[in-house]
Amino acid sequence: MKKLLLTALTLLLAASAFGIESVPGSFPHINQGHSAPVSATAVRDDALLSFSGSASGVLKVWNNETRRLIQHIQVGQDPIIMIAPHPENNELAIVEEGSRGEYRLSVWNWEDKRLSFARTLEDLPVFLRYSPRGSFLTLALPQWRSLRFYDTQRARELNYLPDGFGIVQHAEVSGSETRIMTYSGNSGSIRYLDLRSGEKNHETQTQRDLRHFTLLPNQRHALGYKNGSLYLIDVVNGRTVDSLDSGDVLGIIPDSRNENAYFLLQELGRRKRLNSLNVAFGNSIRLERSQESVTISGSADYFSTSRSISVFAAENGQLGVVTNGGISYLGVTGLSGIQRIVYQGNWTYIQSADGISRIPSGLLLEARESGNHGRFEDVDELITRLNLPIVNPAGMTPLDNVKILIWGREDTSSILEYNSFTREVRRIDVDMRSPIREIRVGERYIILMDNEDGIQLLEKNSYQKQFQYQTLGLMDVLELSNGRLLIAKNQAGFFNSSLIEVNPQTGETSLVNSDDTVVFQFVRPSNSRTFYSLGIASSQGNSYTHIREFSQGRLSSGRSIMRFTGEDSDASLFYNDDNNSLVTSAGPDGVNIYRNRRLNSLESNNNLPLKVFAKGDLVFAVNADGTASIWDSRSRDLVSQVTSLPNGDLVILLPDSSFIPLETNPGNPIFPYNQLLTPVRLSPRGEARLTRIDVLKTETETSTESSDGSRAGKESSQEDGENRSNSVNETADKEGSASEDPESEDNAENNSENTNDGSSGGSSGSSSASSSGDSSDDEEESGDDSVDGSVDETVDDSGENEDT
């Protein structure tokens, strides 16, 4: 008999330096890289933190010293293409690219996941960065009036430099934040301007069309690249100090070991290489090559730098870090993603890429049932891998409260019936044209759908084939209460409609009028004439996703119970007969429950939920990153999260910062959990805090208890703040819904305060172009104002700069 024993591990590493502080009420972080390609990177000026954004709208914050993930935010569904961290606090700005080519700027507090403001941009910015003190955000658009300045605390645009002078490729704000230096590549002009008055203090001409413009630490010289050559220029008088044939250069990156040393990012076949370059100061200033180089195996498509560290996007969703000439990587990759969950009372079945595992359901409910960890006595097996006659299961669905149907990814001749009570497996013969992609269970029939849009009906008790049908663009099939089939499809084929009705007794097919472009999914309560659909419709050139409620007698018209702009094709529906509720992952608020004509959001799971299930008072969601989340629908609280590891083990994360590792084969070496779950988080001031972690592990009665202290977890804030779509217009009476006018100032205030309004497409905060008269800099800070010093040099230098 196996027992689950409670073990408390105190993390002593660096305790003397940081102190130990328990932070209750949060889930541990998985120290995992992105599941989608990295599309943006950034490094904070102090080099303590790195930031990465993905093509799936996920933002991650990393501690460069500990190499640990300290925050994860699902900003939206669109790719994050720019990140600008605040130089001192936990604020950052991002730019997302929408599906229709629009760009959105939003500012967040990444620690508490609070959206400060958001607005739409006319074009993709040339650059995005904060001023040296973080008082305002600067960006440049490819327009005549290129520079824009935003007070992020007041969510407004500042009226700095309202008169345009061409596209700005690079800008440096002075330390006192009163002046700015700009470089415009089209004209080759370097300008020094007063921010508030717009007065031009100085202008000079230099090389045109320089890329990768990089200001040196002395604030007097800059590096730039064009047409296979590097140029070292004087930013005061514009003259070219030195040049060097370099070949193609993809980026100029500071070398942390020497303030006048740089790496040139260049291609080496299918790889990238960092080649060293020195700026030598002596009797003359010149560029010198070095033989030192570092080869990068990742794609390195997005490189961000500070003076002491550089980060880049690797091919597998990791973040590469370049320090002291070497490369390391942030995050664990290759997690075995969870695909489906079936809850059968005392047992829960979890399907991942490695197979199907069975665990006691009580493990998932520890936080809800008792609030602390107890012992699981008399549990024969804590985790069991099902021994099935298929190598690669494609899916599973409950047939009833005891039996589960399982199908293989390549099999066309059979499905499996698994009895969760007796653990017996029965093989059911079928004859499909191609592998099964989905199975629906109705009142009379088991409905099989294959990869070539074929449908086959099996009698529910005997598994005898009753009917088969072939169509084009098949999306889903619903068995109506009268025994007929309602088929959802795209508008391809003879029937130019997203819905058709088929009589399986006669084969008669009829068109159902629908204004939906496509319907993705149906669900129907048992023994009911009502059903629900999830689909996409278009109106006046705009697409929107909605959920409709239908009566069987009125198939062509349904009542919209939820509607929002955008196409959420990855969302899903599930009807829970146990408490008469509809569960959906559609919409900007994560997982929602529709019951008694009211729509309520569950606690945010800090992720992008896709496929949802429900049983009793529990709601399950499989997330975009391959993890799973479980909620109590009564309290709407998130009670646990599950991750499947590369070796087949499962880890259950609990809201008290603890985790339960479940080993599929306890005889194998223990998985290095300390590499996966982060024990350190950052406080607002940047001090690291260690968390005491409670760990549950499995052990046989005859074995001795392991003293391995490598299993550790990390607490992380899991407050609401993750959204996935644009403006939502819910026709149901949703509790706590915001104003219907997304542009109103009242709604903008709510958006900045409500952590559930993290939609990147929302318009939070008005863009009034009023002048900022509140911040004045009457003092000159010469020690902090290097750019200002360069301007002064043009006035005082009577030698080299006399012509200026």
CATH of the domain at 668: 2.130.10
pLDDT given for residue 707 in this prediction:
33
Q: How confident is the model at residue 680 (pLDDT cuts 50, 70, 90)?
A: very low
pLDDT given for residue 299 in this prediction:
60
From 23-27, 33-37, 210-214, 508-512, the region with the lowest mean pLDDT: 23-27
pLDDT given for residue 189 in this prediction:
96
Q: Does one domain contain both 614 and 533?
A: yes
Residue 710 belongs to some domain of the structure: no
The residue-averaged pLDDT of 137-142 equals 96
User: For residue 491, what are the contacts with CB-CB under 8 A and spacing of at least 6?
Assistant: 473, 497, 498, 517, 518
Q: Does one domain contain both 461 and 536?
A: yes
pLDDT given for residue 25 in this prediction:
53
| CATH assignment at residue 257 | 2.130.10.10
Residue 734 belongs to some domain of the structure: no
Helix (H, G, I), strand (E, B) or coil at 384: strand
Q: How confident is the model at residue 202 (pLDDT cuts 50, 70, 90)?
A: very high
Residue 284 belongs to some domain of the structure: yes
Q: Does pLDDT of 716 surpass 80?
A: no
pLDDT given for residue 72 in this prediction:
86
Alpha carbon distance 727, 628 (integer Å): 26
Average pLDDT, the chain: 76
pLDDT given for residue 178 in this prediction:
94
Of 199-213, 242-256, 671-685, which one has max mean pLDDT? 199-213
Alpha carbon distance 438, 499 (integer Å): 18
pLDDT given for residue 354 in this prediction:
78
pLDDT given for residue 686 in this prediction:
28
Residue 480 belongs to some domain of the structure: yes
Q: Does pLDDT of 193 surpass 90?
A: yes
The string of DSSP codes covering 654-699 is: -TBS-EEEE-S-TTSPPP-GGGTB--EEE-TTS-EEE--EEEEEEE
Alpha carbon distance 765, 155 (integer Å): 5
pLDDT given for residue 581 in this prediction:
96
From 146-150, 604-608, 685-689, 730-734, the region with the lowest mean pLDDT: 685-689
Residue 252 belongs to some domain of the structure: yes
Q: Does one domain contain both 230 and 356?
A: no
Q: How many domains does the chain have?
A: 2
Q: Does pLDDT of 274 surpass 70?
A: yes
Q: Does pLDDT of 677 surpass 70?
A: no
Alpha carbon distance 534, 550 (integer Å): 11
Domain endpoint, select from 636, 658, 678: 678
Helix (H, G, I), strand (E, B) or coil at 709: coil
Of 254 and 131, the structure prediction assigns the larger pLDDT to 131
Q: Does one domain contain both 315 and 212?
A: yes
250's tokens: 């993809």
Q: Does one domain contain both 237 and 351?
A: no
pLDDT given for residue 494 in this prediction:
57
Burial 72-81 (b: 16+ CB within 10 A, else e): bbbbbbbbbb
Residue 661 pairs with which residues in a beta bridge? 651
Burial 347-360 (b: 16+ CB within 10 A, else e): bbbbbbebbbbbbb
Residue 411 belongs to some domain of the structure: no
The residue-averaged pLDDT of 643-647 equals 77
Q: Does one domain contain both 350 and 229?
A: no
User: For residue 575, what are the contacts with CB-CB under 8 A and spacing of at least 6?
Assistant: 523, 524, 525, 532, 581, 582, 583, 614
pLDDT given for residue 86 in this prediction:
95
Of 773 and 698, the structure prediction assigns the larger pLDDT to 773
Q: How confident is the model at residue 303 (pLDDT cuts 50, 70, 90)?
A: confident
**pLDDT tens by residue, 363-418:** 877 645 544 443 343 334 577 889 898 878 999 999 999 999 999 998 899 999 99
Q: Does pLDDT of 768 surpass 70?
A: no
| Residue (of 647, 652, 697) closest to 668 by Cα position | 647
Helix (H, G, I), strand (E, B) or coil at 363: helix
H or E element, residue 340: strand 338-344
Q: Does one domain contain both 248 and 345?
A: no
Pairing, β 156-158 against β 769-770? parallel
The residue-averaged pLDDT of 170-189 equals 95
Residue 704 belongs to some domain of the structure: no
Work out the number of other CB atoms within 10 angstroms of the CB of residue 590. 28
Q: Does pLDDT of 796 surpass 60?
A: no
Q: Does one domain contain both 274 and 358?
A: no
Q: Does one domain contain both 614 and 538?
A: yes
Q: Does one domain contain both 354 and 480?
A: yes
From 118-122, 295-299, 645-649, 740-744, the region with the lowest mean pLDDT: 740-744
314's tokens: 């690797």
Domain endpoint, select from 266, 301, 330: 330
Of 722 and 180, the structure prediction assigns the larger pLDDT to 180
Q: Are 387 and 350 in contact (CB under 8 A)?
A: no
Percent of the chain residues topping a pLDDT of 90: 42
| Residue (of 406, 317, 330) closest to 625 by Cα position | 317
Q: Does one domain contain both 233 and 358?
A: no
Q: DSSP state, 345? A: T
375's tokens: 């012992």
The residue-averaged pLDDT of 591-614 equals 91
* Structural domain harbouring 485: 338-370+378-384+445-678
Sheet holding 659-662, edge to edge: 376-379, 2-9, 693-700, 659-662, 650-653, 637-644, 628-632, 618-623, 609-615
Q: Which amino acid is at 130?
A: Y
Of 347-361, 372-386, 651-665, which one has max mean pLDDT? 347-361
Domain endpoint, select from 656, 678, 700: 678
Largest CA distance in the chain: 100
Q: Does pLDDT of 785 surpass 50?
A: no
Q: Does pLDDT of 718 surpass 70?
A: no
Q: Does one domain contain both 342 and 319?
A: no
CA 552, 553, 558, 562 dihedral sign is negative
Q: Does pLDDT of 486 surpass 70?
A: yes
| Residue (of 458, 522, 453) closest to 492 by Cα position | 453
Residue 595 belongs to some domain of the structure: yes
